[in-house]
Amino acid sequence: MSLGEHLVELRKRLMYAALGLVVGLVAGFFLVDWVWDMLREPINALQLQGRNATLTYGTITEAFDLRIQIALFIAVIITAPVWLYQVWAFLAPGLTRKEKLYGVGFLAAAVPLFLAGVFAAWSVLPNIVRLMSTFQPSEDAFFLSARLYLDFAVKLMLAVGVGFVMPVVLVMLNFVGIIRGKTILKGWRVAILIIVLFAALTTPAADLWSMFLLAAPMVLLFFIAVGIALLHDRRVDKRRAAEFAEYGIDMSEPDLSEFDDDAESGKARPTRGKPRETNSDA
C-alpha cells in the first residue's frame, strides 16, 4: 500500500471514528442528568449529615459547558468499541498473525480492567470528599466549584483506570520479547512501592481504607501479570529447546575445566599444526 493509500485509509477511519463520537455525544446528552447525579452523591451526602455543602457555578454558561463535557466523556466511553475498531482496522493490515492475536488479547483484557479501575475510583470518591471536608470548621460553609469537582472526579477515574491497565502492558511487553518474567519479578518491591505511592497520590487524603481499595487490586493484578509472564517464558523456552534438539544443536554449557586447569598451572597449551620455521641465515 502506497503512502497516498495509507492517507486515504487514515482519513476514512478518522471520519468513521468522529461520526461514532457524534452519535455517542447525542446519546450522552440523555444520560448527563443521571451521571451528574451520581457524581454529586458525595456532596449530597454531606448535606444529609448537616453540613452546608453545595456546588457552585462561576459563570452563566458554566452549567451548559459542564453538560457538554459530561456528554463528551460519556460518548468516549460508550463508543469505545467503534473508535477502537477503527484504530485496529487501520493497523491490522500491517501486522502479522501473531501480532494480531496479541493485539486482540490486549484489548480484550485492557478494556474491562480500565472500567474496573473507573469503578474503583468511583467507590473511593465519597470517602475522599467526606474526609477532606472534615478539615474545615463545622460552622463554615463548603462551597465547591462544580467545574473543579468534575475535573477532579474525571481525572481520578482516568488515573486509576490507567493504573489498572499497566499489568496488561507488562504482559504485552513480555509476549513480544522485550522483558522476561523473571526480570519483572525481581522488581516486585519497587513495583509495590510505586503502586502504594500512586494510590496515595490519587487519593489526596489520609484515608488508609481508600488507599487499600486502590492499591490491593493493582498489587494483585501485578502478580497475576508476573505469573502469566513466567508461564509464557517457560513455554517459549521449551519450544526453543525442542527446536534446538531437532536440529542437533547442543545448548548445554561447554566444559571449560581443561582451560581452567591450564590457567592455574601457568602452562601454555601446545599449539597444533607445524612449528613455526625460523630463518637460520639471520
The Cα–Cα gap between 148 and 145 comes to 5
Please give the residue that has the higher pLDDT: either 262 or 232.
Answer: 232
Residue 222's pLDDT is what? 93
Residue 213's pLDDT is what? 82
Digit-coded pLDDT (tens) for 105-148:
888 888 889 888 888 888 888 888 887 777 777 666 778 888 88
| pLDDT higher than 80, residue 36 | yes
Cell of 180: 522476561
CA separation, residue 182 to residues 217, 256, 265 (Å):
21, 27, 39
Q: Report the predicted TM-score, pTM, of the whole model to 2 decimal places.
A: 0.73
Cell of 216: 490491593
Where are the domains positioned within the chain? 3-246
CA separation, residue 82 to residues 72, 75, 79, 85, 266 (Å):
15, 11, 5, 5, 73
